[in-house]
Amino acid sequence: MAFNAGAYRASAPRGAPGLRFTVYAILAVALMVLDRRGGWLVTVHYYMDAAVYPIQLAVNSPTRAWNWVRDTLATRESLQAENATLSARNRELALRTQRFAALQRENAELRGLKAALPPLAERWLVAEVVNVELNSQHQRMLLNRGAGNKVFRNQAVLDATGVLGQTISVSPWSAEVILITDPEHATPVEIQRTGVRTIAVGTGDTDSLALPYLPTNADVKDGDLLVTSGLGGVFPQGYPVARITDVRHDLLQPLAQIRATPLARIDAAREVTLVWFQPGHPAAPARGHDADGNAALQPQEAPPLEPIPPLNLPRLKPRPQAPATDSRPDAAPAQPARPVQAPVTDKRA
């Protein structure tokens, strides 16, 4: 445990350490104030995140190598079994989609619209999870898609089973996602059975969300499905979020204590989906106003779809979108309506 004290003769640091420390402390405090108040550093953050991204990739390389080895060494039997499961699942989904077009038309007629609405999800982009931080204070994810892929800030991130979170910072090649289970994230939801709207707050635990704002006499039961309510400007209406698992009515307290389990597989996700929504659609989220100067962080037009190789089921491909000047009665105005209120889902803003 010797620090080899004799090895340094002139070990006094150059300059006065006190002065240096003062300079750095002032710099750090200035950075914090600029970063927190007024968001002056959004652009700086954008480029710093870009500069750090290669290191993040390097940091994650052991995990990636392990996954690669596991994928490569997967046996023929397990691959065949997986293939069989997937084609069974594909068949099931295809059967469900067969009626989709008809139902959509029927729905439009019931709503009194002349033309059928386009599908809500305009485009999606599969992103790989580069890094995950899951602890009691942070539940974050780093994705390998960024502004270069037209990813923007406060974009919804889903997986095949439910809502995962939203992007909170975007760099040219990467995007950081705050998960719905992060203690600082609140998801506007509604209970599907009753239509009651409330807010699901993250708990810092990957399989639990809290619903702290429901009164004791609220009609909530175990097993109720929570879907996004479309408020808040990030998630459109009707996407599954969580299922209620625990309802406790304490008569001495004005609010019920309710827990729900997220439907998305948060701790197992390796690939997630970034979604662009049709802005004029009635179920689309009302976009909040982003005051940042950086154009790359504003909501982006969806980039053109990458061609998906047609399986034997070409109808699974989403239909190409008509331009915004079509004859839909609710066609988006040139400037989308912008509520003054900022999105409530990002409490950090």
Interacting residue ranges for other proteins, rule: CB under 8 A: 1, 3-14, 17-18, 20-21, 24-25, 27-32, 34-36, 41, 44-45, 48-49, 52, 55-56, 58-60, 62-63, 131-138, 140, 168-169, 176, 183-184, 204, 206, 347-348
Cβ-based nearer residue to other proteins, 170 or 227: 170
- Minimum CB separation of residue 21 from other proteins in Å reads 4
Please report, for residues 200, 232, 243, 338, the alpha-carbon distance to residue 342 in angstroms, rounded to integers and kept in the order given. 18, 8, 28, 9
- Minimum CB separation of residue 311 from other proteins in Å reads 33
Q: Which of 160, 162, 167 lies closest to 185 in space, CA to CA?
A: 167
Cβ-based nearer residue to other proteins, 184 or 292: 184
Cβ-based nearer residue to other proteins, 41 or 108: 41
Rounded CA-CA distance 159/271 in Å is: 8
- Residue 193 CB-density burial (10 A; 0-12 exposed, 13-18 middle, 19+ buried): middle
60 HSE (CA, 13 A, CB side): 19
First to last CA, the chain: 48
Cβ-based nearer residue to other proteins, 12 or 73: 12
Which pair of tokens denotes residue 11? 């070990």
Cβ-based nearer residue to other proteins, 32 or 331: 32
- Minimum CB separation of residue 35 from other proteins in Å reads 4
Q: Which amino acid is at 117?
A: L
- Minimum CB separation of residue 348 from other proteins in Å reads 7
Could you tell me if 17 and 141 are in contact, meaning their C-beta atoms sit under 8 angstroms apart?
no
- Minimum CB separation of residue 140 from other proteins in Å reads 6
Cβ-based nearer residue to other proteins, 41 or 94: 41
- Minimum CB separation of residue 235 from other proteins in Å reads 21
Q: Which of 301, 287, 296 lies closest to 346 in space, CA to CA?
A: 287
Q: For the chain, what is the total number of helices (H) and then of strands (E)? A: 4, 12
Q: How is residue 204 annotated by DSSP?
A: S
